[in-house]
Amino acid sequence: MANVLIATEKPFAEKAISQITAVLEQNEFSYQFLEKYTSKEELLEAVKEVDALIVRSDKVDEEVLKTAENLKIVVRAGAGYDNVDVDAASKNNVVVMNTPGQNSNAVAELAVGLALYGLRNMFSGTSGGELRRRTIGLHGYGYVARNVHRIVRGFGMHPAVFTRYSRTQAVSEGLQVTDSLEELYAMSDVVSIHVPARDEHIKSVSFDVLKHLRQNAIIVNTARKEVINEDDLINFMRFRPDVKYLADIAPDRIAEFEKHFKGRFFFTPKKMGAQTIEANINAGVAAAEQIVKFLQNGDKTYQVNK
Ligand code: 3PG
């Protein structure tokens, strides 16, 4: 009987947990949970005997992979797998998967909510602006950005996108696709960032890109802080007091934002994009099903360390 560990420092909703366990029980898998843990030692202890691991943003590094001697598969219940050392997993013959698309509507709704909150001056009682007729620039066009696109059309926004990998898809959906990131930022009242924390996307939001932003622009980041060049963002916000930054994760130099940019930034206290009951169910159940299919039939769909 295969043994699955669900290790979530930030737990899934109860409804998601009952559906995840139902999938595992139907397939006669045993399971255990490690939730709200506060030290790596707890994770190291818990992974020792398991065949499969479900995580969220939990760090799965080389030490965790080596300690988990029976481990065959790690599924990141979510999109970004920058928390998993995929090279170490490959070296240890562990398959790594994510669950693409499963939590993307939740993240997209948060992105639009942050844009609205920023445009309304953080509900501070001062006159703000409306989404309607403003241009939203989608930086990247994966599952989350596609949901943002669907939602903002309802608000009457003008969407545009810069994408290297999903150009055909974006064009087929009637989107204006720019030839460069600079061009996208130059035409946007709101920029919404939707690229993963890897390769050319790391620090891709630099001063040289930001300097093109329109007056009173709003930057929304529901992706990762690593895609922003934080020094450049701070310099840019000092030079352009009209610009706001709202993100689903606090930057490293939060004290500087508090000191210099009062009323111009907002950070969720904990990553909240995928923290809805629906997204927890979608991503958690998909993770459990992917583990079952892999361990029973060798199905490697969604493997990211090929
Ligand atoms: C993702 O990459 O899927 C999101 O950032 C969600 O992360 P979380 O599972 O830690 O909420």
173, 131 contact by CB (below 8 A): no
- Taking CA 16 as the corner, what is the angle to CA 10 and CA 19, rounded to the nearest 5 degrees? 140
The C-alpha atoms of residue 112 and residue 241 are separated, in whole angstroms, by 22
Q: Is 273 near ligand 1, meaning CB less than 6 Å away? A: yes
Measured in residues, the chain has a length of 306
Atom of ligand 1 nearest to the CA of 78: 3
Give the pLDDT band (50/70/90) at residue 297: very high
Ligand 1 center to residue 88 CA distance, Å?
21
The C-alpha atoms of residue 91 and residue 120 are separated, in whole angstroms, by 50
The C-alpha atoms of residue 170 and residue 178 are separated, in whole angstroms, by 11
Phi, psi of 107 (to 5 degrees): -65, -40
Mutate to test the pocket of ligand 1, among 12, 57, 221, 280 (most ligand atoms within 8 A of CB): 57
Atom of ligand 1 nearest to the CA of 224: 5
Atom of ligand 1 nearest to the CA of 223: 5
Nearest CA-CA partner of 197 in 219, 222, 175, 180: 222
pLDDT in tens, 220-231: 999 999 999 999
Atom of ligand 1 nearest to the CA of 107: 4
3-state DSSP call for residue 86?
helix
The C-alpha atoms of residue 52 and residue 46 are separated, in whole angstroms, by 12
What 14-19 contacts at long range (C-beta under 8 Å, 24+ apart), as own/partner pairs, is: 15/277, 15/280, 15/281, 16/277, 16/280, 16/281, 16/284, 16/285, 17/284, 19/281, 19/284, 19/285
- DSSP 8-state symbol, 182: H
Report field, pTM of the whole predicted structure over 0.85: yes
Confidence at residue 247, expressed as pLDDT on a 0 to 100 scale: 98
pLDDT in tens, 174-222: 999 999 999 999 999 999 999 999 999 999 999 999 999 999 999 999 9
The DSSP bridge pattern shows strands 176-177 and 158-162 to be: parallel
Confidence at residue 38, expressed as pLDDT on a 0 to 100 scale: 98
Confidence at residue 96, expressed as pLDDT on a 0 to 100 scale: 98
Ligand 1 center to residue 279 CA distance, Å?
10
Which domains are present in the chain? 3-102+275-297 (3.40.50.720), 104-267 (3.40.50.720)
Confidence at residue 240, expressed as pLDDT on a 0 to 100 scale: 98
Q: Which two tokens stand for residue 202?
A: 């790391």
pLDDT in tens, 33-52: 999 999 999 999 999 999 99
Mutate to test the pocket of ligand 1, among 103, 268, 304 (most ligand atoms within 8 A of CB): 103
Nearest CA-CA partner of 288 in 1, 6, 72: 6
Confidence at residue 1, expressed as pLDDT on a 0 to 100 scale: 85
